[in-house]
Amino acid sequence: MLIKQAQDLTEADVTPHSVYRARRRFMQAGLAAGAALGWPWLARGAIDLGDITPGPYTSDEKKTPYKDVTTYNNFYEFGTSKDDPAVRSGSLVTDPWSVSVGGECDRPGSVGLEDILKAHAMQERIYRLRCVEGWSMVIPWVGFPLADFIKRFQPNSRAKYVEFETLYDKTQMPGQRRRVLDWPYREGLRMDEALHPLTLLAVGLYGEPLPNQNGAPIRLVVPWKYGFKSIKSIVKVRFRETQPVSSWQQAAPSEYGFYSNVNPNVDHPRWSQRR
């Protein structure tokens, strides 16, 4: 993954604000037309991401086409096939949405998505997200550092890990009717990983709010770990003193560890990670 610092960017790397806004209006019109034609995965919530600025990190890699990003997904809450999330996620209601935060912190509470968006400046960052099956995508994510979100709840000295939880609702997420995993989906990071400047809470991609199948309305993106660590549709965050057990770690501990860092020199038990 090639990462650029903000000081490495030239004026030519930054989209003019007027062009960016025009592009957003064009995309919104196209998405509305798609939704009217009965493509539920094109529907968007009413959230406004506001102004989006280039983030401090980007990449020279070619971006994955929007269609591929939004139609080839792992999101078992909607089914185990790669096309299930795009087809079946129209049932997910993302407005209103709130995230509850608790555990080892001095200011626990619940915060609504609208308040989250108002409190944080949106950045666009181009990250490659890898999957253990061997495929990966280069995506222009829109979001803000997880560290900024964490600090407002003031974790105490006992907070060594951060645990995340996905929405659990069999009506909205029909894949949860099958015991593929022990629902709800859970993930976690060590505190220093959560505070790392590359760790992102994403609320959009390609300048638009996240589609349901990509983890709407708010998800984690950790570019140096395999994609299953970047938990989607987050409703709970908990600060812990002890290491949490993540969903895939619980389901298949011989194949999926807690850390799951991308390392081409360490093969998965059933396939190579070199490419």
Strands 122-130 and 52-54: parallel
First to last CA, the chain: 13
The tens digit of pLDDT for each residue in 15-66 reads 443 444 444 444 444 444 444 444 444 444 458 899 999 999 888 899 999 9
194 with 150: CB under 8 angstroms?
Answer: yes
Looking at the chain, the whole-number percentage of residues with pLDDT higher than 70 is 83
Which domains are delineated in the chain? Answer: 6-251 (3.90.420.10)
Tell me how crowded residue 89 is: count the other CB atoms within 10 A of its CB. Answer: 28
Question: Is 8 a residue whose pLDDT tops 60?
Answer: no
pTM to 2 decimal places: 0.83
The dihedrals phi and psi of 25, each to the nearest 5 degrees, come to -65, -40
Average pLDDT over the chain reads 87
Closest of 59, 49, 98, 37 to residue 210, by C-alpha: 49
Per-residue pLDDT reduced to its tens digit, 223-233: 999 999 999 99
pLDDT band at 85 (very low <50, low <70, confident <90, very high): very high
pLDDT in tens, 156-195: 999 999 999 999 999 999 999 999 999 999 999 999 999 9
pLDDT of residue 274: 74
**Sheet of strand 161-166, all strands in order from the earlier edge strand to the far edge:** 109-112, 98-103, 234-240, 161-166, 186-190
Between 47 and 199, the more confident residue is: 199
Model pLDDT, residue 16 = 42
At 275 the pLDDT is 67
Assess whether pLDDT exceeds 60 at residue 9.
Answer: no
Q: What is the pLDDT of residues 110-135, one digit of tens each?
A: 999 999 999 999 999 999 999 988 89
In the chain, % of residues over pLDDT 90: 74
